[in-house]
């Protein structure tokens, strides 16, 4: 009769929401706080038990403790605080986190200290002195936003030359799609006065001349971007970069446009055990052939020591705040160089992007399309249709519209029909909406990142920071989705505000789905990886305007604490 006893025992374990392999005493039990599971079937719990990096039981505290507590079990009292699944980053540029410590933050408040070109230069000079910058040594800043400069006084090559005559200096644009360079930096990266502007690029010139003014954007920025040096101590740089994510509660990060040398760098770091959060990398389409030489399509879509090659990244356009997003109607303020009737333009040659999309689809590689303007989103839809051809347009490819800022309602319907994920960017409603109102008008600017409309149509939108365009701060991202308050205090598109729960879905369970990882991440459920975050308060309970003030107290990856806030 032992077989009957075995069947009875198995049925009992199933009824208790635990698998036979998980029946041993738990390693850790968290209890004593508010646990938001993001599991629609059981949205709240009192305790979570973890064994060998997996969640083995979720439920009432007394039941979990009675069933899972053993002599060696560590009990962790949340002391009334809130636990959620570890946050999943739907889009950022992880590779930049490795270099951030070597760059100078010249962003405008509240992100950085510089409100003008003069303050940017003063900040750079202070950093150069602190570092004892040597002659010919390069200095990099980041966070420049010409739209926030007073009286339209932008940062220029001439101003940087006056401050740094003996050093190559460049300040990366806040969009991360360009930079302002001085003469030494132009020489270093091969730029010349009178050079042609490449297709899909922007080069500002001194009025009435062919001399470079300082700012280069989009494809004109690639010569500098592709030549930026990699950190010498990769493991130390990777640790520092990951801690930025872990301190924000992020347990899965994205490297959203990876060049071939950067793919190899990430592989080296992973091989040495240097990743303690998961990183998903997407090969930049211009480097895809080179990446595939040593990483065949069959190697994509699976983790190896914390690194997963997720697929391909295309860039049909640029940034709306930099006036390089591609629209069907003109900018109200002209182009970045004063062009009339400026609608933006494709970020890469159309034929190359169509061919790249088909190659990715034919190799079953997930595709991310960077598409901000509505013309770029039209192109995304067209590229999808042409790559599929006579196949099933609605097949489950998890194609993603990254940013998808100015998506129209008819386009949302197409994304829904084709199963394309809108990865939105509601942080723009705070950081850049005032600029969008100026450039695009209040009506269009009010519906950027239309999360509520997308959800109402049955889509499962995600939401991201695009770090380091803005900092990794998941509570700020939730706050912007819920409140949509601009720097000026104006509410931008109140009809697109969502509930805190909807905002949390976009960085947990729906973000896991974007990566095809909803069966292992994104919610606190039995059998899933124990990726968890402890917050100082519940986003579901505080006043909506206070959400951004919630602090991450602890981040847990596969059951192990990887970040704990200072006392």
Query: What's the pLDDT tens digit per position in 442-451?
Result: 999 999 999 9
Beta bridge partners of 529: 54
Q: Is the CB of residue 102 less than 8 Å from the CB of residue 241?
A: no
Confidence tier at 23 by pLDDT (50, 70, 90): low
Query: What's the pLDDT tens digit per position in 358-412?
Result: 999 999 999 999 999 999 999 999 999 999 999 999 999 999 999 999 999 999 9
Confidence tier at 3 by pLDDT (50, 70, 90): very low
CA dihedral sign of residues 422, 427, 428, 429:
positive
* CATH among 3.10.310.70, 3.40.50.720, 3.90.1570.10, 1.10.3720.10 for 99-225: 3.10.310.70
Q: Which residue carries 């951030």 as its tokens?
A: 100
Mean pLDDT of 133-146: 93
The CA distance from 44 to 220, in Å, is 50
Within 10 angstroms of residue 44's Cβ, the number of other Cβ atoms is: 12
- Does the pLDDT value for residue 6 go beyond 60? no
Burial of 239 (0-12, 13-18, 19+ CB in 10 A): middle
- The Cα-based distances of 349 to 221, 287, 318, 354 in angstroms read 16, 15, 13, 9
Q: Which residue, among 560, 559, 554, has the nearest Cα to 33 in the 3D structure?
A: 554
Cis omega (within 30 of 0) on the bond before 110? yes
pLDDT > 70: what percent of the chain? 96
Burial of 339 (0-12, 13-18, 19+ CB in 10 A): middle
Helix/strand/coil for 372: coil
The CA distance from 274 to 290, in Å, is 24
* CATH fold of the domain at 2-80: Urease, subunit C; domain 1 (2.30.40)
Among left, alpha and beta (phi > 0; psi -120 to 50; other), residue 527 is left
Residue 257 has which token pair?
Answer: 């446009």
* CATH fold of the domain at 234-561: TIM Barrel (3.20.20)
Residue 139 has which token pair?
Answer: 């200095």
Confidence tier at 354 by pLDDT (50, 70, 90): very high
- Does the pLDDT value for residue 18 go beyond 70? no
pLDDT at 428: 96
Burial of 487 (0-12, 13-18, 19+ CB in 10 A): middle
pLDDT at 37: 98
pLDDT at 514: 98
pLDDT at 12: 40
Domain parsing of the chain, residue ranges: 2-80, 99-225, 234-561
The CA distance from 450 to 461, in Å, is 9
Query: What's the pLDDT tens digit per position in 63-109?
Result: 999 999 999 999 999 999 999 999 999 999 999 999 888 899 999 99
- Does the pLDDT value for residue 519 go beyond 70? yes
Helices then strands, counting H and E runs in the chain, come out as 20, 23
φ and ψ at residue 516, rounded to 5 degrees:
60, 35
Q: Which residue, among 507, 553, 514, 508, has the nearest Cα to 528 in the 3D structure?
A: 508
Query: What's the pLDDT tens digit per position in 209-236?
Result: 999 999 999 889 989 988 888 888 999 9
- Does the pLDDT value for residue 492 go beyond 90? yes
Within 10 angstroms of residue 14's Cβ, the number of other Cβ atoms is: 11
Q: Is the CB of residue 267 less than 8 Å from the CB of residue 302?
A: no
Beta bridge partners of 48: 30, 58
Query: What's the pLDDT tens digit per position in 252-301?
Result: 999 999 999 999 999 999 999 999 999 999 999 999 999 999 999 999 99
Distance in Å from the first CA to the final CA of the chain: 57
- Does the pLDDT value for residue 14 go beyond 50? no
Confidence tier at 199 by pLDDT (50, 70, 90): confident
Query: What's the pLDDT tens digit per position in 320-330?
Result: 999 999 999 99
CA dihedral sign of residues 23, 27, 32, 34:
negative
Q: Is the CB of residue 58 less than 8 Å from the CB of residue 526?
A: yes
- Does the pLDDT value for residue 11 go beyond 90? no
The CA distance from 171 to 192, in Å, is 18
- Does the pLDDT value for residue 1 go beyond 50? no
The CA distance from 127 to 103, in Å, is 9
The CA distance from 174 to 193, in Å, is 24
Q: What is the pTM of this model?
A: 0.90
- Higher pLDDT pick, 217 / 501: 501
All residues at 6 or more sequence positions from 290 whose CB lies less than 8 Å from its CB, including other chains? 260
Query: What's the pLDDT tens digit per position in 535-552?
Result: 999 999 999 999 999 999
Residue 520 has which token pair?
Answer: 């292992």
Please give the mean pLDDT across all residues of the chain.
94
Helix/strand/coil for 138: coil
Q: Is the CB of residue 76 less than 8 Å from the CB of residue 29?
A: yes
- Does the pLDDT value for residue 17 go beyond 90? no
The CA distance from 453 to 80, in Å, is 34
- The Cα-based distances of 194 to 184, 197, 206, 430, 521 in angstroms read 16, 9, 11, 38, 52
The whole-angstrom distance between residue 62's C-alpha and the CA centroid of its chain comes to: 39
Angle (CA) 471-286-331 rounded to 5° is: 60
Q: Which residue, among 82, 304, 520, has the nearest Cα to 511 in the 3D structure?
A: 520
φ and ψ at residue 169, rounded to 5 degrees:
-130, 135
- Does the pLDDT value for residue 58 go beyond 80? yes
Q: Is the CB of residue 529 less than 8 Å from the CB of residue 54?
A: yes
């Amino acid at each position: 009769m032992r077989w009957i006893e075995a069947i009875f025992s198995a049925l009992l374990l199933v009824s208790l929401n635990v698998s036979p392999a998980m029946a041993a005493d738990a390693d850790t039990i968290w209890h004593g706080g508010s646990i938001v599971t993001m599991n629609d079937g059981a949205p709240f719990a009192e305790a979570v038990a973890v064994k060998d990096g997996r969640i083995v039981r979720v439920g009432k505290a007394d039941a979990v403790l009675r069933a899972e507590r053993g002599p060696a079990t560590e009990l962790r009292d949340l002391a009334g605080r809130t636990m959620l699944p570890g946050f999943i980053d739907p889009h950022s540029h992880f590779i930049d986190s490795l270099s951030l410590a070597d760059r100078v933050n010249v962003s405008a408040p509240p992100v950085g200290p510089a409100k003008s070109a003069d303050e940017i230069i003063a900040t750079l000079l202070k950093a150069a002195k602190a570092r004892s910058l040597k002659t010919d040594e390069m200095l990099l800043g980041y966070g420049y936003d010409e739209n926030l400069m007073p009286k339209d006084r932008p940062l220029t090559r001439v101003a940087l030359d006056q401050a740094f005559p003996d050093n190559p200096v460049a300040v990366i644009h806040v969009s991360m799609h360009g930079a302002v360079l001085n003469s030494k930096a132009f020489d270093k990266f091969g730029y010349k006065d009178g050079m042609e502007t490449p297709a899909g690029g922007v080069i500002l010139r001194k009025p009435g001349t062919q001399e470079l003014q300082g700012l280069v954007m989009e494809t004109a920025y690639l010569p500098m971007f592709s030549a930026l040096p990699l950190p010498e101590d990769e493991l130390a740089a990777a640790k520092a970069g990951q801690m930025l994510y872990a301190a924000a509660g992020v347990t899965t990060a994205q490297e959203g446009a990876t060049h071939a040398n950067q793919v190899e760098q990430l592989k080296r770091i992973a091989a040495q055990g240097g990743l303690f959060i998961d990183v998903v990398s997407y090969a930049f389409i211009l480097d895809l052939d080179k990446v595939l030489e040593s990483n065949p399509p069959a190697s994509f879509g699976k983790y190896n020591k914390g690194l997963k090659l997720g697929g391909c990244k295309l860039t049909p356009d640029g940034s709306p705040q930099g006036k390089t997003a591609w629209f069907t109607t003109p900018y109200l303020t002209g182009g970045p160089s004063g062009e009339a009737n400026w609608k933006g333009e494709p970020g890469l040659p159309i034929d190359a992007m169509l061919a790249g999309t088909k190659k990715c689809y034919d190799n079953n590689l997930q595709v991310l399309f960077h598409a901000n303007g509505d013309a770029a989103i039209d192109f995304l839809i067209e590229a999808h249709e042409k790559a599929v051809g006579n196949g099933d347009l609605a097949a489950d490819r998890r194609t993603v519209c990254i940013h998808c800022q100015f998506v129209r309602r008819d386009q949302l319907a197409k994304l829904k029909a084709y199963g394309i994920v809108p990865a939105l960017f509601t942080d723009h409603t705070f950081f850049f909406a005032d600029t969008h109102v100026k450039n695009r008008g209040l009506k269009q600017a009010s519906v950027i990142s239309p999360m509520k409309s997308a959800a109402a149509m049955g889509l499962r939108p995600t939401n991201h920071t695009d770090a380091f365009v803005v900092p990794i701060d998941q509570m700020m991202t939730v706050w912007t989705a819920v409140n949509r308050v601009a720097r000026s205090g104006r509410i931008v598109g109140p009809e697109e505000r969502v509930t805190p729960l909807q905002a949390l879905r976009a960085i947990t369970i729906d973000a896991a789905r974007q990566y095809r990882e909803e069966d292992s991440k994104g919610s606190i459920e039995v059998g899933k990886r124990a990726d968890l975050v402890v917050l100082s308060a519940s986003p579901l309970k505080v006043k909506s305007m206070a959400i951004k003030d919630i602090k991450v107290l602890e981040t847990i990856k596969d059951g192990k604490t990887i970040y704990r806030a200072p006392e």
